[in-house]
Amino acid sequence: MYPRLFTTHLFNRELTLHTYGVLLALAFVVSLWVVGWLCRRARIDPAPLMDLAVYSLIGGLVGARLMLLAVDWRFYSSHPAELWSLLQSGGVFYGGLIGGLIVAALYLWRHPIAGWPAADILAPAVAIGQAIGRLGCLAAGCCFGKPAAGLAWAVTFRDMYANRQVGTPVDTPLHPSQVYESIACALIFIVLVWMMPRKKFHGQVALAYIALYSAVRFGLEYFRGDAARGKFGPLWTSQWVAVVLVLGVIALVPYLLKRQRIAPPAGDTAAA
């Protein structure tokens, strides 16, 4: 693919504009627009949620890299000079999700914003951001799939820069795992937007996102070919996280259905 949009030299230094970084920035801009759009649809002030989204993004970026460091600790402890490569890596998404949730929880603790309604608005924005961000992974060659010789839609990387940066196999047909996830996240985004005006309790959209993405990610791990993801027992790290998250969703649904139920509009006898 195209890991670099262009490379130039300035003051005797090589400067590279990476495609991944550009698409990551685009994903963030689109996600912010979706937050504003959903806020306007819900007739609430978008400014606090915009701030929450920015802070959560920062927490997500840090969390993604910390989880990558944790799951591949043996490599980085043996090659400390490679720690600088964490700044160029996208990291592990689940680490980003956890980091973003921690920062969001701290922000909500300090600011008078209803947490679950805010989570419902942020969830579709995260999903569409992932859909765009995974195309950045495709361009960079990271998160690549398993060999898939004979597969009609297999992708073949030929840029040695990607091989040097993230170990992408070159001249080998691979499952386009990045495209699989991008399409899945785009579909999740559509489902979540459809759910927004139909939800029965605050937090339903956010929990639907967590459950749907966890199921998608659990299955996609069987198509991934990059080994630096960490494996414990029969499952990869992301699969264990997916299991824990789905169990958490199952535990939270009855609680939120009782505590965060949305009352039917006045006079709506059918809903009553």
Q: Which helix (H) or strand (E) holds 11?
A: none
CB atoms within 10 A of CB 189: 21
Strands (E), the chain: 4-10, 13-18, 155-156, 173-174, 231-232, 235-236
- The band of 255, judged by pLDDT with boundaries at 50, 70 and 90, is very high
The reported pTM is 0.82
Q: What angle do CA 148, 212, 197 make, to 5 degrees?
A: 140
Bridging pattern class, strands 4-10 and 231-232: unpaired
Q: Which two tokens stand for residue 166?
A: 């993230």
Burial of 250 (0-12, 13-18, 19+ CB in 10 A): exposed
pLDDT cut 70: percent of the chain above it: 82
Q: How does pLDDT run across 19-32, given as a tens digit for each residue?
A: 877 888 898 899 98
Q: How does pLDDT run across 65-116, given as a tens digit for each residue?
A: 777 667 666 665 665 655 555 555 555 666 777 888 788 888 878 877 888 8
Residue 89 DSSP code: S
To the nearest 10°, the Cα dihedral for 227, 229, 230, 232? -90
Alpha-carbon distance 133 to 63, whole Å? 16
- The band of 223, judged by pLDDT with boundaries at 50, 70 and 90, is very high
Q: Is the pLDDT of residue 123 over 90?
A: yes
Q: Which two tokens stand for residue 106?
A: 């701290």
Q: Identify which of 23, 4, 24 has the alpha carbon closest to the alpha carbon of residue 14.
A: 4
Q: Which two tokens stand for residue 1?
A: 């693919």
Q: Is the pLDDT of residue 271 over 60?
A: no
**DSSP 3-state helix, strand, coil percentages of the chain (rounded to 5)?**
65, 10, 25
